[in-house]
């Protein structure tokens, strides 16, 4: 039975010359559980030691509905302050443009100040990948693109990406931008498969965007499935995982990575052993039959 191509040891961030690991680690949950800088450093080391070089955060991570805005970035800043050599070992990605209690703000004044605030909190001179977290419907894409282009020109940001953008929103922003977008970050998992058929991944391949998948385990739901459909997806992944000697979560990452868009799953775990385990997905090999079997379970109906 023919196999899908193996996963390369590194991928390139969009059309940039920045190499990234084929799997990333995310810090959405880093500032939870009163984690201190030493505990946060342990997690950063777990990711880097496993060969994960793309680390994803956002200014809103830490926000709990009332406070905590900026906490995950600030905690990472403490980690860098204690061990300055760490910064150079990673491709640092962050995001901005969500401003509680407002839903979104990407007006020039706000977004420029948000970029500066992220740099200050993380105690870094530059962010390797800055992503617009969610589109602000009330700011013209020309205004957003000017702010982003200016930040690149000032050396504050190396490359630009988006998250949770529709196909048309990507087109509009790219139209006005002086730089090529290098990434998009939608929610993708074996439980969230809309991207596979709505054209988002096709657009990413056409524009050469890296695709970073958020919540690749459905936020953990894949590990404790409740509905019949979610259980069927888990069972299909378990069958393949058993054959290849990996866990269900690793099989889920591997399933995403086997897609020709070169999807980069962002591991969300804040457990060092689970972070390290994730890279085993790079060694998985998929037959078309197995890959489609997971998709069919996720669709809940056969393919036409």
Q: Give residues in contact with ligand NAP (CB under 6 A).
A: 26-29, 56, 163-164, 185, 214-220, 223, 249, 266-271, 274
Query: Measured between alpha carbons, how far is 261 from 76 in angstroms, rounded to an integer?
Result: 30
CB of 1 to ligand NAP, least distance (A): 28
Output DSSP code: residue 282. G
- The residue among 18 and 304 lying less far from ligand NAP, judged by its C-beta, is 18
Residue nearest to ligand NAP (CB): 268
- The residue among 153 and 216 lying less far from ligand NAP, judged by its C-beta, is 216
CB of 203 to ligand NAP, least distance (A): 17
- The residue among 151 and 266 lying less far from ligand NAP, judged by its C-beta, is 266
Residue 160 parent element (H or E) = strand 157-163
Residue 122 parent element (H or E) = helix 108-122
Match 């690749």 to its residue by tokens.
216
Query: Measured between alpha carbons, how far is 257 from 213 in angstroms, rounded to an integer?
Result: 10
- The residue among 109 and 251 lying less far from ligand NAP, judged by its C-beta, is 251
CB of 219 to ligand NAP, least distance (A): 4
Positions annotated as catalytic residues are 61
CB of 169 to ligand NAP, least distance (A): 14
Any bridge partners for residue 104, and if so which? 98
CB of 155 to ligand NAP, least distance (A): 24
- With H, G, I as helix, E, B as strand and everything else as coil, classify residue 157: strand
- The residue among 216 and 262 lying less far from ligand NAP, judged by its C-beta, is 216
Please report, for the chain, how many H helices and E strands are present, in that order: 11, 10
Query: Measured between alpha carbons, how far is 168 from 88 in angstroms, rounded to an integer?
Result: 35
Q: Are 20 and 264 in contact (CB under 8 A)?
A: yes
State both tokens at 255.
Answer: 């399933």
């Amino acid at each position: 039975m023919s196999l899908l191509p193996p996963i390369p040891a590194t991928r390139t961030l969009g059309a940039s010359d920045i190499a990234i690991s084929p799997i990333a680690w995310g810090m959405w949950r880093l500032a939870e559980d009163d984690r201190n800088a030493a505990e946060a450093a342990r997690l950063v080391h777990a990711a880097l030691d496993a060969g994960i070089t793309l680390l994803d955060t956002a200014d809103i991570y830490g926000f709990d509905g009332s406070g905590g805005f900026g906490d995950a970035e600030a905690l990472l800043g403490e980690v860098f302050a204690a061990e300055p050599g760490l910064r150079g070992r990673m491709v640092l990605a962050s995001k901005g443009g969500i401003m509680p209690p407002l839903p979104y703000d990407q007006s020039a004044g706000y977004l420029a100040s948000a970029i500066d605030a992220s740099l200050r909190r993380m105690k870094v001179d530059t962010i390797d990948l800055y992503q617009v977290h969610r589109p602000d419907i009330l700011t013209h894409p020309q205004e957003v693109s000017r702010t982003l282009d200016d930040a690149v020109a000032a050396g504050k940001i190396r490359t630009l990406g988006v998250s949770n953008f529709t196909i048309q929103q990507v087109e509009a922003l790219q139209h006005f931008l002086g730089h090529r977008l290098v990434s998009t970050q939608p929610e993708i998992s074996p439980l969230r498969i809309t991207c596979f058929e709505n054209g988002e991944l096709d657009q990413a391949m056409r524009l050469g965007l890296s695709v970073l998948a958020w919540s690749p385990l459905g936020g953990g739901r894949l590990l404790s499935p409740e509905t019949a459909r979610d259980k069927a997806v888990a069972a299909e992944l378990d069958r393949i995982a058993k054959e290849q000697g990996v866990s269900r979560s690793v099989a889920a990452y591997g399933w995403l990575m086997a897609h020709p868009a070169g999807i980069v799953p962002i591991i969300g775990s804040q457990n060092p052993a689970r972070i390290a385990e994730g890279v085993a997905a790079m060694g998985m090999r998929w037959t078309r039959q197995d890959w489609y079997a997971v998709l069919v379970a996720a669709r809940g109906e056969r393919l036409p």
